[in-house]
Structure formats: C-alpha cells, structure tokens
Structure 1
Amino acid sequence: MNSTKQETEVKLYTPNLVAVEEAVRSAGGTLVSERVFERNVRYENHEQSLTPQGIVLRMRQDTRVRLTYKGPGVIVNGITSREELEVEISDYGMMDIILARLGYHPFMAYEKYRTTYELNNGEIVLDELPYGNFTEIEGEVDTIEALITKLNLAANRRVPQSYAGLFDVVRQNMELDMPHLTFEAFQGIIVPEEALQPNVQSTADDEAKG
C-alpha cells in the first residue's frame, strides 16, 4: 500500500496575525487547534548531507511527538510541493536514541507558537516565531490561491525558505551567532522585515540565494 503524502503549501510573511485570524474567522474558518507551543529539532547525518540535498529529518513536540521526513521541494510561484512522511511516536527520548544509533544527530532546534484553522478544504496555520509572524496555507494549488485572495493576502510576500532557511538568512544579515532558533536566544532582539530578505547586504551583482 502506498502511504506517501505530498505536501503542498505556501508561506506568507504576515506581521499582523490578529488581522489574519480575524479574516479567517470572518470567512468561516474552523479552529482545529488552539495556540500551542512547538519545539522542533532538525537532525543531520555524519556527512552533514541532508540539508544541502533539501532533505528534512525532524522531531516535533507539542501536544504529541512526531517524527517527520521531507524530501526535496519544488517551488512554483512561491508554493512548495514535496514528499512528507510523518509518524506519531510515544517516547521522544527513545526515538532520539534510535536516531543516534542510526547515525543522526541534532543540529538545530527551533521554536514557534502555532494556531491551526481549516477553511474551504485548506489548512491555515498562524505561526509566531522568534524573528516574525507567518501564515502557512496547505492544500491543492488552486485552493491555496483562492484562500490567499479570500483572506486578502495577495500583497503579502511569499517566502520560499523553510523556517530553518530563514534563520540562516537572519543570522547572516544581522551577524548573529546563536545556534538555535529559540525565543530565549532572540530575547531583546528586534528583527526588521528587511533582515528576512536573502542577501540584503549584497551588492546588486550578487545572486540571491534561498
């Protein structure tokens, strides 16, 4: 039996999440999960080859614990499609040991608060991260585009990077050296919108890198 899943989603930079949530509610969105704290840990192998290949191996802990694999993504018009395989596990610590025995080690942790809605066959999540607020919409491409229009988000910037990729951008642009994307690490640090733009300090001849 083929149990693979294709994830198709868009990430939008939305500083005013209150306005987005009001728009979702006004449009008839259904609250699926109230605001919850998430801690995510990305894993790498000895060769550090997963991230350069666009592969994600992650453990996520909120009200439950999940192990996730994501394959390399294809981005069209800011919408990313990739294979996503996920399983719920009962023991975070034991899974961490199993991954270590298989040659994988934690290399980056990142935190966020997430609120989840459903609307018109799409999933809408409101994410609060240490460096800013974002809205992710998951579903079929036509559904995503229709929801962007319905929620008046067409003018908001589509972000092709993962949250870990954006962390690299912010660290480079702001010359930060913290290893993990946590609220504690960013305490007292204000991240301007321009710091979320790749190569903001590059010259005009430099090629932008996602």
Structure 2
Amino acid sequence: MDHIEIELKFHISDFDDLRGRFLDLGALCIRRQTLEINARYDTGDNRLLERHCLLRLRKDVGATLTFKSPPPTAGTRFKRFRELEVGVSDFDTMEAILNALGYRRRQTYEKWRETWQAEGVTLCLDTMPFGRFLEIEGEPDAIMLMVRDLGLQWDRRILYSYLGIFEVLREKEELPFRDVTFDNFKAVSIPFERHCHRFETGGTDGR
C-alpha cells in the first residue's frame, strides 16, 4: 500500500499512566507488546540514505518490507513521509532477494511496540534501547486533538525518526556501535532527559 504517513512522537517516562489515559478516552489495545527486529538496507555508497529514503525489512509476528521516501510537500508541524509497504512470507528469503539486488544490511534496530487504536489515530507505545516513546499516527486534526486530550505539550513533540535520534546520541555520547539493539545498550547508561532539548519542539532530521 502507498500512502502519506503523518505522525509525531513524545518522550514518555510512565507508560502505566498513559495507558490509563488511553482507557479513559475509549482507546483499545489491538496488539500487546511485541518485539520488532528491523533491518535497514542500502547500497555500498548509501544512495538511499543520501536521498533521505529508508528500505526496511521488519520481523515481528510476521515480516514486512517497507520503503519510505520524502513526501511531495513537507512541514514542521508533523513528520510526513511517503510509504510503500507489503507483507512478505519469509524474512530470510526476502533478505536474500535484497542482497541479490545489490542491497546490504547496513543497520539493525530493535524495539518493543504496543499498539492502541483510538478515534482517528493509532497510538504506539515504543520501548527503544535508549528510552520510551509514544508515537501518534493519523490525520493532522485527529493527532492534535489526541495530543490535547492526553494532556501532552505540543511544543515537546519530536519529529525525528528513531534512527535519527540514535545518530545524534551516538555522536554526543561517542557510542562505539551502529546497531540499535538492547544487547548493545546493556552496558550503556544514557539519561534521555539530558538530550530531550535536541529533539523536541519539532526538530527533524527528515528521515
């Protein structure tokens, strides 16, 4: 399916409190917490990255191939991107096809995701190796209404991708690895609050 995806994120300290607010608003949990293993692919000279594009193969309860690219028109209020996505039956075979086409796995990143559905929006509680986040996806008016109803501060929204956030953290904290896995972060302590100002108030990396 091909569409323009519209979303934003907030850094969250307490998921339990947020779940209570979801229930008060009549939201339904449509997928319990699930581990996602994502692999990013590119050419040897990173042509996709240079074009701010993402080619991703994800494994959770199934396998999904996704291509993301910049939209015809961007903005600073929301993160927008064009997305092509298709389910595949076999992760390993799809990776072999990508390799045969000249794409190699350049980065792996993991997250635990819990998905809720509310009127007009999808709400994702994401646990990354470097912090917890709420992602809200939907049409602009519905997103803004949900931000208000959840009592979140609009000027603390984040438009960075998770990989974009990691690249900033990697540089600032001089991290020696590129894969965003829970194992890699076991020996690393990064209080995300120390870096919030780098990402909030609509900062964006375009990825």
TM-score, normalising length: structure 1: 0.89
User: Cα 1:17–1:27, aligned 2, differ >3 Å: closer, same or farther?
Assistant: same
Aligned position for 1:82: 81
Aligned position for 1:36: 34
Q: Select which of 55, 62, 65 maps to 1:64.
A: 62
CA distance in 2, matches of 1:45, 1:10: 28
Aligned position for 2:140: 141
Aligned position for 1:118: 117
Q: How far is 1:173 from its partner?
A: 1.1
Q: How far is 1:188 from its partner?
A: 3.3
User: Cα 1:20–1:75, aligned 2, differ >3 Å: closer, same or farther?
Assistant: farther
Deviation sequence 1:59-112 (CA, Å, 0-9, x none): 0100010000111252422x1111111000011111111101111111110001
Give unpaired runs (5+ residues) of structure 2: none
CA distance in 2, matches of 1:148, 1:177: 36
Aligned position for 1:52: 50
Q: How far is 1:190 from its partner?
A: 1.9
1:170 to 2:173 alignment: no
Aligned length: 199
TM-score, normalising length: structure 2: 0.90
User: Cα 1:185–1:196, aligned 2, differ >3 Å: closer, same or farther?
Assistant: farther
Q: Secondary structure at the match of 1:106?
A: strand
CA distance in 1, matches of 2:196, 2:182: 17
Q: Which moved more, 1:182-191 or 1:36-45?
A: 182-191
CA distance in 1, matches of 2:196, 2:94: 33
